[in-house]
């Protein structure tokens, strides 16, 4: 490593490195470690030395620089930048870091600002509040140690520690990168030839960032003799493609395109290209496909894309005659790019478990289940990349956020099934429940929404079972089996093993995108379906289903109440009509105690109308009062805007208040003493 001393100007050394990086077509990361203000000052100095775009992502920065908050990092997808700054001195959002790195052109420096190196692992990470399941941020030593090791292990990472001279990598001999001459690579040309011959169908172009997906799409638009339309969630998200085809193709916002297709004939359009297709809701994608003879879906299948894996695993698998295309060699930078390499290693973006399938012919008796403690064993174990890689391959929601949760969030439990030392299956569970009575009531009433407790809170907030968060439970967050080991009862065996270790709990739970196959699996494991969500997930296109496995009498009572309520409410909830009933049908339109509690919670607390819909429908049947705002919405199904005009209100908030007041009046009119009892219970 070459040290830059006082007699060797920093600017000259950086410029020398950048010229070489441009020739070699690579990008590098410079880690600046120290006090937050010092790190930011050095970043500003470097940004002034080297001309470039210099987007700055972080929670704080200099007044001279426009800061992009980490939550807005995905607005950069589809763009190209020269040089960037990522401030991780107080909060380390690794997904935003990966997105930012994916925008950088060859020759770029990524400046990563981090706390003092020796202190960093034990410092509170403010980003952890998003994923740790607690109200307070936590320190994340396991992940930070892991990340530091990956940086130190790569000899092309540059460092600048406060109080020391910067240390830049020695200039290594790499072959000069072949210039980009606008001509397609052999792989791009082969794919382009196939698309140019296409008569109809859906084509899915998948690759990691920088592989030339958008460039290939622009070549198709340019060479196609007919009409091509382009859509994406925003023009900024498809900047590379849009800039290259703006004179030839018409760009549409997805929602506007669907409206246009429903109102006009679009048969003259030969191709619809959907850039970053994984970012669009599945129902919208499905609707658009029906209107065009040829569709090219372009998506980045990499963990930090959020729904990218869901797009591949759920949506594309359902398409008939879908043809898959892939690009593997980088175009925007050279192979073995230092920045891509170190982030792939640190964030486990390359899914290493694909290459390890085990001996599928081995007898079941040779398999063993081991429990994995969430401590430094993760750091030293070869299981970490295999475990996380298997989950990434199998689950559409696995992102680097899950890697952080896996390594440092409290209340996590892990087990793996091994054949000899080869990973065959993995399961990940999360503790939930055990909340105080007062907090549980506040969750039910809509007054509080603490972090974590996904199923326990949902059964209270949406299904009205306020006791659910009080009971102690454990949710199965992920379960996956290697492809060649499936259909052997391995997943069932792992779930039953978890049941045996959870005897001090009240129930196990699971939340999943509903399909008949998954529902049948969880039923075989002993779980009872207790809730179906009201909206389809953007990532899977499925309704969210929740099921529980009761382990004692209290949980069995909860399960019975949930299933009875589901069956009783079914007639008022259209999205539930196509799902099989968990128990025999119940014909009852009277108001029982659970209805009174639900209605009083809506009237005097903050229960949402969607959660109270069935009870409100029964109230309208049993009440003789006019209740115009409620009847217009629930019985006459008038649009919200029309009801607001009819009732002389000034907006949606006023309408909600009107609904609550009407319920108060109806309950008082039906039975004042019963009303008073439940009002007191709700207000306590």
Please report, in range form, the residues annotated as the binding site: 188, 332, 479-481, 517
Joined together, the tokens standing for residue 395 give 């689950």
Joined together, the tokens standing for residue 26 give 């690579």
Burial class (CB in 10 A: 0-12, 13-18, 19+), 177: middle
- CB 475, CB 454: distance < 8 Å: yes
Local structure of 545: helix, strand or coil: strand
Joined together, the tokens standing for residue 549 give 């496995």
Q: Tell me, what DSSP letter sits at residue 502?
A: T
Backbone angles phi, psi at 415, to 5 degrees: -145, 150
- Binding site membership for acetyl-CoA: which residues? 479-481, 517
Backbone angles phi, psi at 465, to 5 degrees: -90, 90
Dihedral sign computed on CA atoms, order 501, 505, 507, 512: negative
- Of the candidates 239, 215, 237, 386, the one whose C-alpha atom is nearest the C-alpha of residue 305 is 237
- Binding site membership for ATP: which residues? 188, 332
> What is the C-alpha to C-alpha distance for residues 379 and 202, in angstroms, rounded to an integer?
43
Backbone angles phi, psi at 343, to 5 degrees: -75, -35
Is beta strand 138-139 parallel, antiparallel or unpaired with respect to 124-125?
Answer: antiparallel
> What is the C-alpha to C-alpha distance for residues 120 and 123, in angstroms, rounded to an integer?
5
Residue 636 CB neighbours (<10 A) = 10
Joined together, the tokens standing for residue 469 give 């968060």
- CB 633, CB 643: distance < 8 Å: yes
Backbone angles phi, psi at 447, to 5 degrees: -85, -25
- DSSP secondary structure, 191-246, as one string: HHHHHHT--SEEEEEEE-TTSSHHHHHHHHHHH-SSEEEEE-S-TGGGHHHHHHHT
Local structure of 325: helix, strand or coil: strand
- Of the candidates 624, 621, 625, 627, the one whose C-alpha atom is nearest the C-alpha of residue 658 is 627
Joined together, the tokens standing for residue 364 give 């079941």
Residues in CB range of 477: below 8 A, 6 or more apart: 428, 429, 430
Q: Tell me, what DSSP letter sits at residue 313?
A: I
Residues in CB range of 457: below 8 A, 6 or more apart: 443, 449, 450, 468, 469
Residue 29 CB neighbours (<10 A) = 24
Q: How far apart are the first and last CA of the chain?
A: 67
- Please name the residue that has the structure tokens 């607390």: 605
- Of the candidates 225, 243, 227, the one whose C-alpha atom is nearest the C-alpha of residue 235 is 243
Which run of H or E residues covers position 2?
strand 2-3
């Amino acid at each position: 490593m070459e040290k830059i001393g006082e007699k060797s100007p920093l600017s000259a050394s950086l410029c020398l490195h950048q010229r070489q990086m441009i020739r070699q077509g690579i990008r590098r990361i410079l880690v600046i470690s120290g006090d937050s203000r010092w790190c930011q000052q050095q970043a500003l100095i470097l940004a002034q030395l080297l001309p470039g775009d210099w987007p700055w992502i972080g929670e704080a920065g200099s007044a001279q620089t426009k800061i992009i908050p980490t939550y807005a990092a995905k607005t950069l997808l589809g763009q190209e930048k020269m040089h960037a700054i990522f401030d991780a001195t107080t909060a380390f959002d690794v997904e935003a870091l990966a997105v930012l790195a994916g925008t950088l052109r060859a020759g770029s420096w990524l400046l990563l600002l981090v706390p003092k190196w020796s202190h960093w692992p034990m410092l509170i990470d403010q980003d952890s509040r998003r994923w740790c399941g607690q109200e307070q941020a936590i320190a994340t030593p396991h992940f930070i140690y892991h990340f530091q090791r990956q940086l130190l292990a790569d000899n092309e990472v540059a460092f600048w520690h406060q109080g020391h001279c910067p240390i830049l990598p020695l200039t290594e001999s790499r072959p000069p990168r072949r210039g980009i001459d606008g001509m397609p690579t052999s792989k791009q040309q082969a794919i382009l030839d196939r698309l140019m011959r296409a008569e109809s169908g859906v084509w899915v172009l998948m690759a990691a960032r920088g592989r030339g997906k958008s460039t290939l799409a622009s070549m198709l638009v340019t060479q196609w003799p007919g009409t091509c339309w382009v859509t994406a969630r925003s023009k900024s998200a498809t900047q590379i493609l849009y800039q290259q085809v703006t004179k030839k193709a018409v760009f549409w916002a997805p929602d506007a395109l669907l409206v246009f297709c429903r109102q006009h004939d679009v048969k003259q359009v030969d191709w619809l290209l959907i850039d970053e297709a994984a970012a669009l809701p599945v129902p919208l994608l499905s609707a658009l496909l029906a209107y065009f003879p040829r569709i090219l879906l372009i998506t980045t299948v990499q963990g930090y894309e959020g729904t990218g894996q869901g797009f591949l695993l759920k949506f594309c698998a359902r398409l008939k005659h879908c043809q898959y295309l892939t690009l593997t060699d980088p175009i925007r930078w050279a192979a073995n790019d230092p920045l891509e390499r170190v982030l792939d290693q640190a964030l486990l973006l390359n899914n290493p478990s694909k290459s390890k399938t085990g001996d599928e012919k081995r007898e079941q008796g040779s398999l063993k289940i081991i429990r994995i403690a969430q401590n430094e064993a993760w750091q030293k174990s070869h299981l970490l990349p295999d475990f996380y890689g298997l989950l990434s391959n199998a689950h559409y929601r696995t992102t680097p956020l899950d890697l952080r949760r896996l390594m440092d969030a409290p209340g996590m439990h892990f087990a793996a099934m091994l054949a000899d030392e080869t990973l065959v299956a993995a399961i990940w569970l999360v503790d939930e429940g055990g909340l105080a009575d007062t907090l549980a009531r506040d969750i039910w009433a809509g007054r509080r929404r603490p972090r974590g407790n996904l199923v326990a809170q949902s059964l209270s907030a949406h299904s009205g079972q306020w006791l659910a968060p009080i009971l102690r439970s454990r949710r199965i967050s992920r379960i996956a089996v290697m492809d060649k080991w499936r259909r052997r009862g391995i997943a069932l065996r792992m779930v039953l093993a978890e049941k045996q270790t959870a005897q001090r709990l009240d129930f196990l739970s699971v939340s999943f995108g509903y399909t008949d196959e998954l529902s049948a699996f969880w039923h075989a494991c002993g779980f009872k379906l207790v809730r179906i969500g009201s909206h389809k997930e953007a990532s899977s296109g499925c309704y969210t289903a929740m099921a529980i496995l009761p382990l004692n009498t209290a949980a069995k009572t909860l399960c019975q109440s949930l299933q009875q309520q589901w069956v009783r409410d079914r007639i008022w909830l259209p999205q539930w009509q196509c799902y099989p009933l968990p128990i025999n049908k119940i014909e009852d339109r009277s108001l029982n105690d659970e209805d009174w509690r639900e209605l009083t919670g809506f009237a005097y607390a903050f229960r949402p109308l969607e959660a109270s819909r069935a009870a409100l429908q029964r109230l309208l049947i049993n009440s003789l009062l006019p209740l115009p705002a409620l009847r217009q919405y629930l019985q006459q199904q008038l649009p919200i805007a029309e009801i607001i005009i009819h009732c002389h209100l000034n907006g949606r908030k006023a309408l909600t208040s009107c609904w609550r007041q009407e319920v108060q009046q109806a309950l008082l009119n039906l039975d004042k003493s019963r009303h008073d009892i439940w009002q007191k219970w709700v207000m306590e």
